[in-house]
Structure 1
Amino acid sequence: MVTRRGFIKAGGLALFGISLGGIPGFLAEAVAATTRPLLFKKKKILVCIFQRGAMDGLMAVTPFNDQYLQAVRPTLFMSAASNAKGKSLIDLDGKYGLHPSMSAFEQVFKDKRLAIVHGIGSPNNTRSHFDAQDFMESGTPFKKGTTSGWLNRAVGLLGHEAVTPFQAVSLTSSLPRSFYGDNAAVAIRNLSEFNIQLRGNPKGANLASKSFEDLYDQTSSGLLKTTGKESFEAINMLNKTNVAAYKPENNVVYPTSALGNSLKQIAQLIKMDVGMEVAFAESGGWDTHFNQGTDTGIFARNVNDLSNSIMAFWNDLEKYQDQVTVMTMTEFGRTVAQNGTGGTDHGRASCNFILGNDVKGGMVHGTVNPLAKENLEDGRDLAVTTDFRSVFSEVADLHLGINNDKILFPDFSGSHIGMMKI
């Protein structure tokens, strides 16, 4: 039985892809005799996607009847009217319109499996990308010194020891702040190039040229010695499957973007039954200070990739949909008014998307007050009316079965908002 240990610590192991042409032969041989029974069956899985750069929630899901918004976004405002210039918003409920480049979400919203939370953000009013992301991923918006991430704490609250190093997986080149902590978590850039690299130990700098056994014997890192078994098992799990030949279900075609590739690989891990319960992926490019565009441009491309990637993943997992919930997050939103370069600057509240069979979908949850200047935070930003911890804790509690918000989000005393089925 593999115990819960943090893979990523000083001198620890980072599991991720490097371009060495796949798993080295000596490592494959070392684990060839290892067998592993099927791990977790019918466990719930949470997939989190961080939209780094701060998504303009008012453009993704627009309160299109708001006259003030129309006035302060003369070239960015989009209408839901069918005779509007260019593509019109997708009318969700007579009040909010979905960006037309997110049309992939329309049917699943109508099917009440996609929920949107608007006015979501952090109680900390920083507009620094680094600080806001750090606070959101640690789950402690007023404590910079928190050493663990909220998803790592969630792993620790699942109620069982991990019997697989793939319980918590990030499809990124390095471990995200959300997964820092003492519970098992790995970062894998590319499954088809899966490998082990020693971090913080010069003896492991050129692992591929050494015998793993020699490195294991020579290292002074106690963590490496204690995780050696985990490493062999991790390699063995992936070595048994030709991940490069993966064929998605239902003739699904994933976008060839970084996010599409990450979600495709998460789908593979779910189907391989390697015991994954929490997964993490990233989407970049949301810092739209310049030439944001409307139905075309950088924002339209980003939301198109986000929605198409998520829906490809969802449709690929048709047989597993009852087990999976997908949740997006972004560090803050954008200013209500556009700036002089056809973009928007750092703001406060945004919106997020939660997809799953256990969400109260087909609704825009949360509160967006009329965008008159007197209702704006600091006279310029969409006010935060829903603390992100209210949403994250509700998803973790009701989807993963975690019921210890004092550990999951220390210093948080808020309540759920009712966007998950009980």
Structure 2
Amino acid sequence: MPLPFPTRRAFLKSGALAVVGTAAIPSFLTRSVLAQATTAQAQGKRLVVIFQRGAADGLNIVVPWREKAYYDVRPTIAIPQKQVLDLDGFFGFHPAMAPLKPLWNQKHLAIVHACGSPDPTRSHFDAQDFMESGTPGMKATNDGWLNRALATETPAHHGESPFRAVALGTQLPRTLQGRIPAVAVNNVKNFTVGAAEPTQDFSTMYDESVNAVLHGTGQETFEAVRMLKATNPASYVPAAGANYPNTAFGNSMKQIAQLLKANLGVETAFADIGGWDTHQNQGSVNGQLAGRLKEMSESLAAFWTDMGDQAESITLVTMSEFGRTVHQNGTGGTDHGHANVMFVMGGQVAGGKVYGKWPGMEKNQLYEERDLAITTDFRQVLGESVYKTLGARNLNAVFPDSGIQSNRFPGLLKA
């Protein structure tokens, strides 16, 4: 017997997004969803956004190893010159980022240093909110920059897939909130977010539902989830050589690859990785930061390998709410700072280059005499990414009152 369908509401039970039933997929939905995938692939572009929550220390991630002041102000946590993975004679990777060095060498990875939000806050909550809304200093913004970018695409998305925008996690991130449908999924393999009883009656789940996790369009939403179930996600095997770490972020990147390969019309995907707030015992070559970088680098490198030829159509951008202080503190860590580093990875990236004007690290060059100064607004990086990847041409709608213009992009993407 066919299952009942909701009208325009998502279904959620105790934080759980679940599939009910395994009936055959109607041909009309197959045509609709696959048409969206074909359209997205014809455009040749998908955007993946990674948020490093906690304020990553950009100075120890991409090390200015030719900057004498760097070693003067970080006597125990600086990365020794002999262990830096040199990039261009001035900057180098932390050694834990070795898995990404081949992508740099192949010019599929670009770096933007001294980049960040112009808002001076050092509050994690406010800074993350401002960067995810794309409106620094404005707390009243009720949607995310990536959702607005999707909304400004050329209006050719009729009957679009509810998997057009996907976040890996238990709730929809600020970045994807807005009027464009988006879905948050924590476990593609089991099709749950949290825990759901597989024998539970669908109508009960529906009655207790809210639309905060999955914003859908009734029958097509429910059938699209069943379509994803039909891809047999439990049997997914990454491509040869794609060795994801068995961690939360590693699993998120593996599931993003799985979703992108499933031809369900995914245009944007989002994941985050925490643990970057290194106030104490940050470490140098080894330690807290090294562990975070190892996990992130291995996961991104595995994702690149896993996507194979499809990696050419993907742009991946990383961001964090702010950087950390230039000086190390008294507990072997760093405190909340200002400018940071962003990565842009993909087949169309003009990589093998560190972008942005380097401000220097002498005291008179620092922001408020303590932090690396910002010379590139993070919205320039995101603006170029959505303009050239998603075709979002109305930049003022994506980043209101920012002054971001296409003729002033850093030049990170070839087309």
Number of the residue aligned with 1:349:
339
Structure 1 residues 313 and 226: CA distance shift in structure 2, 3 A: closer
**Which residue type is aligned with residue 326 of structure 1?**
L
Q: Whole-Å Cα distance in 1 between the matches of residues 305 and 278 of structure 2?
A: 30
The partner residue of 2:84 within 83, 89, 94 is 89
Distance, in Å, in 1 between the alignment partners of 2:230 and 2:305 is 25
**Equivalent in the alignment of 2:69:** 68
| Alignment partner, residue 3 of structure 1 | none
Instruction: State the secondary structure of the residue aligned to 2:81.
Output: coil
**Partner of residue 317, structure 2:** 327
Q: Call closer, same or farther: CA 1:206–1:14 in 2, change over 3 Å.
A: closer
Relative to structure 1, the CA distance from residue 119 to residue 16 in structure 2 (aligned partners, 3 Å threshold; closer, same or farther) is farther
How many angstroms does 1:251 deviate by?
Answer: 3.3
Which letter maps to 2:30? Answer: R
Contact 1:16 1:189 (8 Å CA) reproduced: no
Instruction: Note if 1:188 corresponds to 2:216.
Output: no
Shift of 1:234: 2.7
Cα pair 2:183 2:215 within 8 Å, conserved: no
**Identity rate, percent:** 45
Report the Cα distance in structure 2 between the residues aligned to 1:334 and 1:225, rounded to whole angstroms: 36
CA–CA distance in 2 between the matches of 1:56 and 1:127? 14
The one of 30, 33, 43 equivalent to 1:36 is 30
Give secondary structure in 2 for the equivalent of 1:227. Answer: coil
The 1-side partners of 2:123 and 2:11 are apart by: 30
Q: Secondary structure at the match of 1:28?
A: coil
User: What is residue 412 of structure 2 aligned with on the other side?
Assistant: 419
- Asked if the contact 2:14/2:196 (under 8 Å) is kept, the reply is no
Residues 240 and 65 (structure 1 numbering): CA distance in 2 closer, same or farther, change over 3 Å? same
Question: Could you tell me which amino acid in structure 2 is paired with residue 36 of structure 1?
Answer: T
Q: Which runs of 5+ in 2 are unaligned?
A: 1-7
Q: Which moved more, 1:397-406 or 1:95-104?
A: 397-406
Hey, what's the Cα distance between the residues in 2 that align with 1:230 and 1:253? Answer: 34
1:377–1:228 Cα change, 3 Å: same
Alpha-carbon distance change, 221 to 106 in structure 1, aligned in 2, over 3 angstroms: closer
1:120 corresponds, among 115, 121, 141, to 115
In 2, the alpha carbon distance for the partners of 1:350 and 1:194 equals 36
What are the superposed Cα offsets for residues 121-145 of structure 1, whole Å, 9 maximum, x if unpaired?
0010100000000000000002101
Q: Which residue of 1 aligns with 2:139?
A: 144
Q: Would the aligned equivalents of 1:17 and 1:194 in 2 still touch at CA under 8 Å?
A: no
In the alignment, is the contact (CA less than 8 A) between 2:63 and 2:92 conserved in 1? yes
Q: Please list, as runs of the form range in 1=range in 2, the aligned pairs for 1:161-310 lying within 5 A after superposition.
A: 161=157, 163-195=160-192, 211-213=201-203, 227-310=217-300
* Secondary structure, counterpart of 1:317 in structure 2: helix
Shift of 1:241: 1.7
Contact 2:181–2:215 (8 Å) recurs in 1 = no
- Mapped to 2, the partners of 1:357 and 1:306 lie a distance apart of 19
Return the offset for 1:44: 1.2
- Of residues 325, 350, 355, the one that matches 1:365 is 355
User: How far has the Cα of 1:210 moved from its partner?
Assistant: 5.2
What's the CA shift for 1:63? 0.7
Mapped partners of 1:413, 1:278: distance in 2: 24
Q: Is the 8 A contact 1:113 1:357 kept in 2?
A: yes
Q: Deviations over 1:312-335 (max 9, x none)?
A: 000100120121111100000000
- By how many angstroms is 1:219 displaced? 7.9
Does structure 1 residue 59 correspond to structure 2 residue 56?
Answer: no
Which deviates more from structure 2 when the two are superposed, residues 265-274 or residues 237-246?
237-246
Q: Secondary structure at the match of 1:335?
A: coil
Corresponding pairs, count: 394
Q: State the TM-score, normalized to the length of structure 2.
A: 0.89
TM-fit CA distance, 1:230: 3.2
1:84 is matched with which residue? none
Q: Give the aligned residue type for 1:309.
A: S
> Counterpart amino acid of 1:65?
R
Aligned to 2:3: none
Matched-pair contact (CA < 8 Å) for 1:153–1:181: yes
Which amino acid letter does the alignment assign opposite residue 237 of structure 2? K
User: In the alignment, residue 410 of structure 2 is paired with which amino acid?
Assistant: I
Cα deviation for residue 68 of structure 1 reads 1.4
Which amino acid letter does the alignment assign opposite residue 365 of structure 1? Y
Structure 1: runs of 5+ lacking an equivalent: 1-6, 82-87, 198-204
Partners of 1:309 and 1:412 lie apart in 2 by 33
- Structure-1 separation of matches of 2:13 and 2:343: 29
Q: Aligned-pair distance for 1:238?
A: 1.6
The CA deviation string for residues 239-274 of structure 1, in whole angstroms up to 9 with x for no partner, is: 202212211112321111111101101111111100
3-state DSSP of counterpart to 2:22: helix
Partner of 2:51: 50
* Superposition deviation, residue 110 in structure 1: 1.1
Aligned to 2:152: 157
In structure 2, what residue type is equivalent to 1:151? L
Query: Relative to 1, partners in 2 of residues 1:340 and 1:271: Cα closer, same or farther, differing over 3 Å?
Result: same
Distance 2:357 2:115 in 1: 9
> 2:327 corresponds to which letter in structure 1?
A
Give the C-alpha shift of residue 231 in structure 1: 3.1
CA contact (8 A) 1:137 1:150 kept: yes
The aligned residue for residue 201 of structure 1 is: none
Matched position secondary structure for 2:92: strand
